[in-house]
Amino acid sequence: MRAVVQRVQRAKVTVEGELVGQIGPGMVVLLGVGGGDDARDAAFLAEKIFQLRIFDDENGKMNRSLSGIEHGAMLVVSQFTLYGDCRKGRRPSYSEAAPPAVAEQLYEQFVRNAEALGAKVATGRFRAAMQVELVNDGPVTLLLDSRGDRPSP
């Protein structure tokens, strides 16, 4: 699984003009599921992101995780294009992305895992054309990949 994590002051996602998810301070997680990903990837990445110390403490140092900020929340948006391979030609190949049915299950598993950790979670709508608006705070933007970050079993 791949994720782009952005620390935000606020964010929202709409589908065809309908507001489907909205948060105040917290993080936006653009989440892509790759072929071969499984429940371990969803659990690992949810915990890793929830525990990321990217929020300022009283001394202005990034020393707090999502659980350490008042009213902190996570907006999770599915993004299969994180698996776009642009090395050849001009049209990205998405052959490394998981099939939609598998991706949706693991996306939902990620959300359940984050909620089980105590995260307040809002979501986009899987497989929908979404408009995501956010105010990046910092800016702070991180890239994570469960295959590169997760210890071997």
CATH number at residue 100: 3.50.80.10
Q: What percent of the chain has pLDDT over 90?
A: 92
If phi over 0 gives left and psi between -120 and 50 gives alpha, with beta otherwise, what is residue 89?
left
Q: Of 79, 109, 110, 123, which is the active-site residue?
A: 79
Between 58 and 71, whose confidence is greater?
58
The HSE-up count of residue 84 (CA atoms within 13 Å, CB side) is 10
Which of 117, 20, 135, 36 has the alpha carbon at shortest distance from 76? 20
What is the H or E stretch that residue 39 is in? helix 39-51
Q: Of 50, 55, 80, 110, which is the active-site residue?
A: 80
Is the peptide bond prior to 92 cis by the omega test (within 30 degrees of 0)? Answer: no
What is the DSSP code string of 79-98?
Answer: -GGGG-B-SSSSS-B-TTBP
Predicted pLDDT at 152: 57
Q: Of 51, 81, 131, 141, which is the active-site residue?
A: 81
**81 given a catalytic annotation:** yes
Q: How confident is the model at residue 153 (pLDDT cuts 50, 70, 90)?
A: low
Q: In angstroms, what CA-CA distances link 45 with 18, 89, 133, 145, 146?
A: 29, 31, 23, 8, 6
Q: In angstroms, what CA-CA distances link 109 with 37, 44, 116, 147?
A: 12, 11, 10, 17
**79 given a catalytic annotation:** yes
What is the H or E stretch that residue 149 is in? helix 146-149
Can you give the residue range of the structural domain that contains 20? 2-149
Entry pTM: 0.94
Mean local confidence (pLDDT), 101-129: 97
Whether the predicted pLDDT of 130 surpasses 70: yes
Task: State the Cα–Cα distance between residues 68 and 57, nearest whole angstrom.
Answer: 9
Could you report the per-residue pLDDT of 66-106, keeping only the tens digit for each? 988 888 999 999 999 999 999 999 999 999 999 999 999 99
Whether the predicted pLDDT of 148 surpasses 90: no
Domains held by the chain: number: 1
C-alpha 14 chain-centroid distance: 16
